[in-house]
Chains A and B, each alone.
Chain A
Amino acid sequence: MQSHPADPLVRFTGVQKTYDGEHLVVRDLNLSIGRGEFVTLLGPSGSGKTTCLMMLAGFEVPTQGDIYLGTQRLNTLPPYQRNIGMVFQNYALFPHMTVEENLLYPLKTRKMPKDQAKAKVERILDMIQLTKYAKRRPQQLSGGQQQRVALARALVFEPQLVLMDEPLGALDKQLREHMQMEIRHLHEQLGLTVVFVTHDQDEALTMSNRVAVFNDGVIQQIDSPQNLYEYPANAFVAQFIGENNTLPAKVISRDQTIYRLEFGQNQVSGAYNADTLATQEAVLFSIRPERVRIGKMAQTLPNQFSTVVQELVYLGDHVRLRCEFAGNTNFNIKVPVSELTTPIQPQDHIMMGWHDQDARALKQLPQ
């Protein structure tokens, strides 16, 4: 399930971490990150993302397992010798230094000659378009500007790896989207290797080459954004990434990658899964709201069902129908406004349907 890049820069092998000796915060982590890759660790708060990043940066020690950077085993290398750039959530810009001094700091610790360091700082200030603010203190800058300085400080010494722990969490939506693009461009321009942590799925999907979805210290799935969305490996990933309608179901039969599932009152639908599922196995039937078609569009589809509309919300480009179906009162359907030919009222009976390939048969999470 976990793809392995050809030229890995970072490798976690069998890494475990516990803080209290009882509860594993990270369990058996195996992860390879290729040179030049942008990998995002995505997961709910408390799932162990920061811990992974901190082990990589050297501020936490793995309880078990090894971390390699290139060919070097990191476990015993102190953090200040790792040459890893890090952007902290609250930027951690030194408040008693100017922007320029902040940027000079990593070069000074590396004993770079003064004029060379100055030139480097000028170049990166130019790149983040903050040359005017070189003599200001961080607290005299706006949030977005501070963010850019923090980024520049993590890049100015040309580290082999850049870590970012929810770096955009403190920005408002518009600025956040702008910075997402800027970071993406920097990644492409400079050929950086980036490990990015976020709990925001949109951010993860827009920015990354690959996303590792964390839950409870375990990587649930690591894949490209598109595959994560289209082929979630389990119910957690399906729920966490995008929106999903799920129904408890049972496997009846199989035709290669299409399984027939039974749910509700003997209702049967086809659903896709590339892996092997046992007959009679309890699974989750899952379908995304935008994959459900209604009315005329549903008439030609293999899986057709009748349902009752509970609520209707108009959202400009699409209409959201909340329906009751097979015991799930929260079964959502997204209908593009252009496809809504006949007006629909709450309590109306409508027909809906979907392709076998659009539905998923997901393994249930081990309890």
Chain B
Amino acid sequence: MATQTMAPPPTTQTSLKTQLRRAERRRKLNAFLLVAPLALFLLVIFVFPIGSMLWRSVDNSELSQALPQTAQLLSAWDGQQPPSEAFYASLAQELKSALANGNIGSLGRRLTYEDPTLRTLVTQTIRKLPDTPETTWQQTFSTLNPRWAELSTWQALKKAAPTTTDRYLLASLDLERNAQGEITAVAPEKQVYIDVFLRTLAIAGAVTLICLIMGFPLAYLLATLPTGTSNLLMIFVLLPFWTSLLVRTAAWIVLLQSGGMVNTSLMGLGFISQPLELVFNRVGVLIAMVHILLPFMVLPLYSVMKGISPHYQRAAISLGAHPFKAFWQVYAPQTLAGVGAGTILVFIMALGYYITPALLGGPSDQMVSYYVAYYTNTTNNWGMAAALGSLLLIITLVLYMLYQRLVNQQTPNRR
């Protein structure tokens, strides 16, 4: 008996290993099944749309899809020689099939970005294009519209021929490629997006700063009050979440407009004689955005502050520090993690704001998202919308990485 238990035969050992492996496998499968719905959800909702947005910002497939063979010819062409008969023949054939396949719309839209008159040229040509050429297709095209004999028309087509392009990304930075293919700044009167990006960063930065200045003392109060009172106050902090963003934004219009409650009360109390301009300008945007984003600053601050023992400040005071000094030298540095988390959260959320500035701001308060919405909803220019969105994403990621590096420098590496 005793010897049996002490020295099991080797076969038992291997079977033990297999058993263990089987058990492990089952556990892993269970774990996988548990996260599978979320993973799938993230894939569908997050990874796929962002990937497709990034792709859209460089996607240039309109011409190569509508006119595949012509696109090949154009790509191989040096852009200086007059195009040969093969170009015209292939264009004639593919324009007809594109018309049949319903690809003309997107092609036309894409061509307007190169030259606004190109769309008309193409649609007019299609309508009049005969089934067979009288002499050559080149001749036929040129008679239909002399512009087909011009090199510049084909050069514009060539620009739209590759399957990818950087024109949208360049345009989002107020840049373009000139005739020689070099990157240059667009004409000063056409420069908008750099301004828009700077404005977006400025508004997000201002909102973050105001949220921090207002949220820090509030979070401190919540963290130091007795639990009952602080829970009650916490409900007030979270109250804004109970109504929709749109309703709250609309409510601010009512409150802040020149005949609104804020102005009438201030005038009634005699603080001002003229109504203040509080809405449809930067002030309104800031007020409403701070109101909406403040909880996102307070919550991480609160959770960090809640974990800081009041003994630290007492210790500092007992060591001879004035309470004010004790707060700044001992308490505040320990809240840095919360400050960082709240700041980055509010800033990133503010970067993407759209409805609030659209409803409460003036024309010069619109942020990047406004233009994204404009390009998707109004002009159907998915390339520009995606390029602006991608740049915003890149800026966000860069800032986040900077923040991470800052945090890593400050926290000690624990052994």
Smallest beta-carbon distance B411→chain A, Å:
9
Q: Which residues of A contact B412 (CB under 8 A)?
A: 137, 140
User: Nearest Cβ distance between residue A148 and chain B, in whole angstroms?
Assistant: 16
Contact of A88 among B314, B330, B415 (CB under 8 A): B314
Distance in angstroms between the alpha carbons of A157 and B319 in the assembled complex: 8
- Kindly list chain A residues whose C-beta atoms are within 8 Å of the C-beta of B322: 80
A140 and B309 in contact, given A92-B314, A157-B319 (Cβ under 8 angstroms): no
B320-338 CB mask vs A (1 if < 8 Å, else 0) is 1111011001100110000
Is A257 among interface residues, defined by CB-CB distance under 8 A? no
- Checking B309, B329, B334, B415 against A90 with a beta-carbon cut-off of 8 angstroms, the contacting residue is B309
Q: Which listed residue (A79, A96, A140) contacts B318, Cβ 8 A?
A: A79
Closest to B308 in A: A95
Tell me, yes or no, whether A364 is within 8 Å of chain B by CB: no
How far, in whole Å, are A90 and B322 apart by their CA atoms in the complex? Answer: 22
With A109-B325, A139-B414, A140-B415 in contact, is A94–B312 under 8 Å at CB?
Answer: yes
A80 and B414 contacting across the interface, CB-CB below 8 Å: no
**B375-404 residues at the A interface, CB under 8 angstroms:** none
Please name all residues of chain B whose beta carbon is closer than 8 Å to the beta carbon of A110 when the two chains form the complex. Answer: 320
Q: Is B317 interfacial (CB-CB < 8 Å)?
A: yes
Contact B315 A88 (CB under 8 A): yes
User: Which residues of the other chain, B, contact A95 by a CB distance below 8 angstroms?
Assistant: 334
User: Does A85 reach chain B (CB closer than 8 Å)?
Assistant: yes
Separation in Å of the B408 CB from the closest CB of chain A? 15
Of A94, A139, A140, the residue contacting B330 (CB under 8 A) is: A94
B residues in contact with A74, CB < 8 Å: none
A92 touches B415 (CB 8 A): no
Residues of B within 8 A of A106 (CB): 319-320
Identity of the chain A residue whose Cβ is nearest the Cβ of B320 in the assembled complex: A109
**Whole-angstrom distance between the alpha carbons of A173 and B321 in the complex?**
34
Q: Is the CB of B320 within 8 A of A92?
A: no
Q: Measured between C-beta atoms, what is the minimum distance from A74 to chain B in Å? A: 13
Residue of B nearest to A165 (CB): B311
Given A94-B330, A95-B334, are A57 and B318 neighbors across the interface (CB < 8 Å)? yes
| Residues in B whose Cβ lies below 8 Å from that of A90 | 309, 311
Min CB–CB distance B316 → chain A (angstroms) = 7
Least CB separation from A83: chain B residue: B320
- B295-323 interface (Cβ within 8 A of A): 309, 311-312, 314-323
CB neighbours (8 Å) of A154 from chain B are 318
Q: Which residues of A contact B415 (CB under 8 A)?
A: 140
Determine if B319 and A79 form an interchain contact, defined as CB atoms under 8 angstroms apart.
no
Most B Cβ at <10 Å: residue of A79, A90, A96, A137: A96
Contact in complex: B321, A109 (CB < 8 Å): yes
Is B316 touching A94 in the complex (CB atoms < 8 A)? yes
- Are A140 and B319 CB-contacts (below 8 A) given A92-B312, A96-B334? no
Q: How far is the CA of A41 from the CA of B128 in the complex (A)?
A: 107
8 Å CB interface, B329-362 against A: 329-330, 333-334
A154 to B311, CA, bound (A): 14
Cα-based distance from A106 to B325 in the complex (angstroms)? 12
Interface residues of A in 94-122 (CB under 8 A from B): 94-96, 105-106, 109-110
A92, B318: Cα distance in complex, Å: 11
A153 and B318 alpha carbons, distance in the complex (Å): 11
* A:247-303 near B, CB below 8 Å: none
Q: Give Cα A81 to B323, complex, Å.
A: 11
CB-defined contacts of B414 to chain A, threshold 8 Å: 139-140
Inter-chain contact A105/B316, CB cutoff 8 Å: yes
Which B residues lie within 8 Å of A157 (CB)?
A: 319-320
A86 contacts chain B at the CB level, 8 A cutoff: yes
Are B315 and A86 touching (Cβ within 8 A)? yes
Residues of A within 8 A of B309 (CB): 90, 92
Q: Please, what's the 1-or-0 string for B90-133, where 1 marks a CB less than 8 Å from any CB in chain A?
A: 00000000000000000000000000000000000000000000
Q: State the CA gap A90–B325 with chains docked (Å).
A: 22
CA distance A88 to B310 in the complex (A): 11
Q: Looking at the assembled complex, report how far the CB atom of B337 sits from the nearest CB atom of chain A, in whole angstroms.
A: 10
Taken together as a complex, chains A and B put the C-alpha atoms of A266 and B160 apart, in Å, by 118
User: Chain A residues with Cβ under 8 A from B318's Cβ?
Assistant: 57, 79-80, 82, 84-86, 154
With A and B bound together, what is the CA distance between A154 and B315 in angstroms? 9
Determine how close the nearest CB of chain B comes to the CB of A126; give it in whole angstroms: 21
A85 to B309, CA, bound (A): 19
Interface string of B23-62 (1 = CB under 8 A from A): 0000000000000000000000000000000000000000
By a CB distance below 8 angstroms, the chain B residues around A82 are 318
The CB with the most chain A CB atoms within 10 A, among B318, B333, B415, is that of B318
26 A-B interface contacts by CB (under 8 A): A79-B314, A79-B318, A82-B318, A84-B318, A85-B318, A86-B318, A88-B314, A88-B315, A92-B309, A92-B311, A92-B314, A92-B315, A93-B315, A94-B312, A94-B315, A94-B316, A96-B333, A96-B334, A105-B319, A106-B320, A109-B319, A109-B320, A137-B412, A140-B414, A154-B318, A157-B319
- Other than A92-B315, A157-B320, give 11 A-B pairs with Cβ distance below 8 A: A57-B318, A59-B314, A59-B317, A79-B317, A86-B318, A92-B312, A94-B315, A94-B316, A96-B333, A109-B321, A140-B412
**B interface, CB within 8 angstroms of A:** 309, 311-312, 314-323, 325-326, 329-330, 333-334, 412, 414-415
